[in-house]
Structure 1
Amino acid sequence: MPRPPSITYPEFKKVAVALTAEGKKLTFQALRQHVGGVSHDVLKRYLDQFQQERGLPNPGMPETVLSGAHALYEQARQDAREEVQHEYEVLTQALEVERQELQDERLNLTSAAASAAGRAEALASQVELLQSQNQRLQDDRDQLRESLIAQQERHMLLLQQYQTLNEQLVNKEDSLRELFGRYETALANSNESARDVERRFLKEQDLARQSVVTLTEESKREMAKSRAKLDEALQSVAQWKERAEGLQRELNIQASANSQIDMVLSALSEVKSLVTESRVESSQSSGGLQECLQTLHHLISAMGESVNAMFDKLKQEDIPK
């Protein structure tokens, strides 16, 4: 179906009337300047119709010229159409190539996007893992800090306990030294008392023997009685000596106890660096000290009783001094 003309005949007629009124000739060139790109056939048909209506002579070209021009025009149109078709095909091929390139690029971008999405998921997983590890490390750090604080507090508490126990050990050592001094003094006094009693007895015995020589016969009878009493006194003295020997044995035992106490003191000085063992050693040394003091008390009491008994017997026998 042919395309409709780009201008109608009434419009063409108005243009032709205007050109005629201006005194211009109705040529194809003049008409084309006003009506635009109208085809040659349409323009020739409109011009023929207008001239017939007005009875105007046809100013056109001869028919041979018009036929040649029309042939040239048609050839130009055909060439232009072919050129346009060629350009269209070239552009179509270029567009197809470009479309294929765009399609390939789209596929590449899609693949790259999928790969990027996979990497993003992997990175997200790594980030979650790192966050979890970071949280775990923070928890471990907090636990370690709490453990260190607890250990420091325990260390300070143990140090205070050690210092307190060390002070107690020093005080106990001083007390032990004082008690040992008192024990040695008491032991020396008891030995001196025993020697003094023995000297007094020997002295009184000598006095008694001397008085026996100077006595009369009557006194001898009395002396016999006194001798019996003296024998009893001697027997008592022998018993006292036995008790003194027993006391000496006990004193030897006490000396051994003193050696053990020295060993305990040495052990106490060694355990100052061991806080936990020092409590055990301290309790053991306290028990040994108590037992030693009890033994010493019994020995001194027994010795005092023996000396008092000896003096009582001497007084009862009325031995002359």
Structure 2
Amino acid sequence: MEPQNRTSASEFLLLGLSEKPEHDTLLFSLFLCMYLITVVGNLLIILAISSDHRLHTPMYFLLANLSLVDLCLATDTIPQMLVNIQTKNKAISYPCCLTQMYFFHFFGIMDSVLISVMAYDRFVAICHPLHYTTIMSPRLCGWLVGGPWVFSCFVSLTHILLMARLVFCGHNELPHYFCDLTPLLRLSCTRTTVNKIFVLLVAGLVIATPFVCILASYTHIIVAILKVPSAGGRKKAFSTCSSHLSVVTLFYGTTIGVYLCPSSVRTAVKEKASAVMYTAVTPMLNPFIYSLRNRDLKGSLKKLVNRKITSSS
């Protein structure tokens, strides 16, 4: 059967989190607050780390990059949803949809890889403390951050090129609040086998592989901590990892459910709920998770805020 013309692919209709208009005001207020908290929290983390020379260490360098990626990931999805709710216009053009999808995958992959790199940093700090400075050199840190940027760009561009070859005909309503890959594949009236295979390969590379590396790192970390003779030393070592473990649980608990679970157990509601977790909730909570239990970062944030208040007054 010949595919129909592609006139309907000129735009898609984002149905959002809820199709009931009476929910729009609540959703708009909730996500506007979440987005503002995300922007302020992550910008404060970046400014605090960049302005305090004591925080110019590999751990905080990675944290600053994670905050930047979280900020960009939330900015790629939430503002579009807020505009759609406010204007009552659910349409998004085909080029804008592909652009949003590109940056969503770009920053999502960066998030996953950076979290695993931070686990490696904790592994070196706890298991090889005497060689930490030598191993986590500025050059290696540059490679550990710069490499994922290049890799993310390549993978995201490949997703878009594979998506651009598909034909969308007839039904153009997307049961989501942003242009995500899986719902879009369901709308295509052409074969999506190549796209689905690539999705599985990428999921294995950027979700499963980093997650396994994190588990391996923390296995060695736990063994090393248990060998520490003093209870105070063990408690201090565990506290340095607790923040990162919380982020790992939040991020991978949702992404694995979306991209690695069988499609038979996934529903549009579950996909949207998981997407809210890793595009809105996790970027909002990360600054709190990393700052509340970190004395150096809290001190730097207080100095930064006091300096701004003093200069403004």
TM-score normalized by structure 2?
0.26
Higher Cα Rg, which structure = 1
Length-normalised TM-score, structure 1: 0.26
Structure showing the higher helix proportion among its residues? 1
